Amino acid sequence: MKLLRNGFVTGPIIGALWLFILATTVSVVMSFATGNAYRPTLFFSLILGGALSMGAIMPLARAPIVGVVMAVGLAIIGLVGGQVGAPIVTNQGAGLQAVVNGLLGFIFGYSTAMIFAGIPRGSLTRHEMEEAWIRFLTGFGYIFFTAIVLIPFYVMVMTSLKSQSALLQNPLDFSIELDKGWALFRSYHELFRDFNFGTYMWTSFYVSVLTVIITLAFSIPGAYAVARLQFRGRAAFSRSILLIYMVPMIVLALPIYIAFSITGLRNTIIGIVLIYPVTTIPVALYMLQGYFRGLPAEVEEAGLMDGLNRLQVIWKITLPLALPALASVSLYVFMIAWNEFLLAFMLLDDPSIFTLTRGVAMLNSSEIPREHLMAGAVIATIPVMVLFLGLEKFMTKGLTAGSVKG
């Protein structure tokens, strides 16, 4: 720890790690964007990054200036470095290597100047040392999280636009062949034409909407009773809701499968619409009762004094006040129903009544090309994403209120 307090130790360590992280990031981005080979060099990056931060030169100048200086420096290194002597090496020619390294240099210079801003050379106080590390970790965190979230979704979309043979040839080449025009969306077109995806989407949609309606119809009165009314067994009831919430679906799915097989409800939409709300009622009840508790009881009491009965109070006072909560609960329930896979997979065999998730599962076979599967995944994802991004505020609220459930 003592040693880290020295700017001539902390500086190079952070610099070395940071250059390597950035070199890796730029290489990955370039590889995914062009499909060509870009490779970060481990030792060269570490040594170069350490050396560049050695003198803790960063505080000497403003970030853009450091960025430009570094860009020029790394571009020259990239130009002459060949296959080992540059932070990023590529087989695409020295010129391109210089450009990529120059870009890396600019990012590195700029960000390193920010990391070391206000931090003196030589010995550091504990504050300054931790500050530098925190800035470094923050930068790393942003890159890390953005990468792990974006890469799978990027690959999902891009795979759906490529053909399987092209992907087998070069799994990294995600460049979009714009000259193909509408043919890019061939797999989507085929899904809707040959695989009934339009119907599946519609089925999923109305099943989800029905689930939301039924769930609300059951959970609003229940949640109100738990939140507002005094009765014996209230605590036990609200605990058992949570307990039921924790029973794994697969445990219930087995007897439900048996019961549905015997009663002939298997393979019917009615069966699905019967069973989905039951999985969501406990969640909705739990979320809503929390919200109802937060509403001022005085308003309702005023209503009672003015001669409304309880049901009228719920209808005329509580529900209008709880509209935002109802919106987030509805969205959350819709999302659960839309994303539901296990029950649809077990209970539906007839391709004409598949829900979307069941339809996508059907595409997972060796006879159907990968891009169809990915196109199906994109089709299933887009509606929830649109809903989510459009109503993010409600959604986040709904998630924090009730998503103890996974």
Partner 1 sequence: MQTAHPPKGTGPLQKREARLAWSLLLPTITIVSLVVILPLLAIFWISFKPIGLADLRPVVPVVREDLRNAGDPDQAVRYRIQNRSQDEPILNVEFTDIVPDAATLGELPEQCELSASQLTCTIGTLEPGERLTLMIPVTLDGDADALEDALEDDTEPRATGDADNILTNTEFTLENFTRIFDADEFVTVMWATIFYTVFGTVGALVVGLFAALLLNKSFRGQGVLRGLYLFPYVAPIIAVAFTWVNLFDPFSGSINALLIQMGVTNETINFFGQRPLALIMVTVFEIWRYFPLSFLFILARMQSIDTDMYEAADMDGASPFQKFWYLSLPMLLGILSVLFLLRFIWTFNKFDDIFLLTGGNAGTRTLTVNVYEQAFAISNIGAGAAVAVVIFGCLLMFSFFFFRFISREEGL
Q: Is 267 in the site for partner 1 (CB under 8 A)?
A: no
Strands in 45-111 per DSSP E: 88-90
Query: Per CB under 8 A, which region of 43-51, 94-102, 205-213, 259-267 contacts partner 1?
Result: 259-267
Q: Which residues of 209-231 are buried (b: 16+ CB within 10 A; e: fewer)?
A: ebbbebbbebbbebbbbbbbeee
275 binds partner 1 (CB under 8 A): yes
Q: Under DSSP, is residue 128 helix (H, G, I), strand (E, B) or coil?
A: helix
- Residue 123 β-bridge partners: 6
* Among residues 84, 232, 236, 305, the one that binds partner 1 under rule CB under 8 A: 232
Asked if 95 touches partner 1 (CB under 8 A), the answer is no
Q: Does 271 engage in binding with partner 1 (CB under 8 A)?
A: no
Segment 334 to 373, residues that bind partner 1, using CB under 8 A: 335, 338-339, 341-342, 357, 360-361, 364, 370, 373
Taking CB under 8 A as the rule, which mask of x and - marks residues 44-83 in contact with partner 1? ----------------------------------------
Contact flag: residue 8 with partner 1 (CB under 8 A): no
Burial class (CB in 10 A: 0-12, 13-18, 19+), 391: middle
Q: How far is the CB of 159 from partner 1 (least distance, A)?
A: 6
168: exposed, middle or buried (Cβ count in 10 Å: 0-12, 13-18, 19+) = exposed
Q: Which of residues 277-296 bind partner 1 (CB under 8 A)?
A: 277-278, 281-282, 285
CB of 314 to partner 1, least distance (A): 9
**Which pairs with CB-CB distance under 8 Å and at least 24 residues apart come from 155-160?**
156/374, 156/377, 156/378, 156/381, 157/374, 157/378, 159/370, 159/371, 159/374, 160/187, 160/188, 160/371, 160/374, 160/375, 160/377, 160/378
Name which of 212 and 373 has its Cβ closer to partner 1.
373
Report the residue number, 267 or 381, with the smaller CB distance to partner 1: 381
Pick the piece of the chain touching partner 1 (CB under 8 A) from 4-12, 25-33, 112-120, 192-200: 25-33
333 is a contact residue toward partner 1 (CB under 8 A): no
According to the binding rule CB under 8 A, does residue 297 interact with partner 1? no
Cα angle for residues 135, 63, 3 (degrees, 5° grid): 45
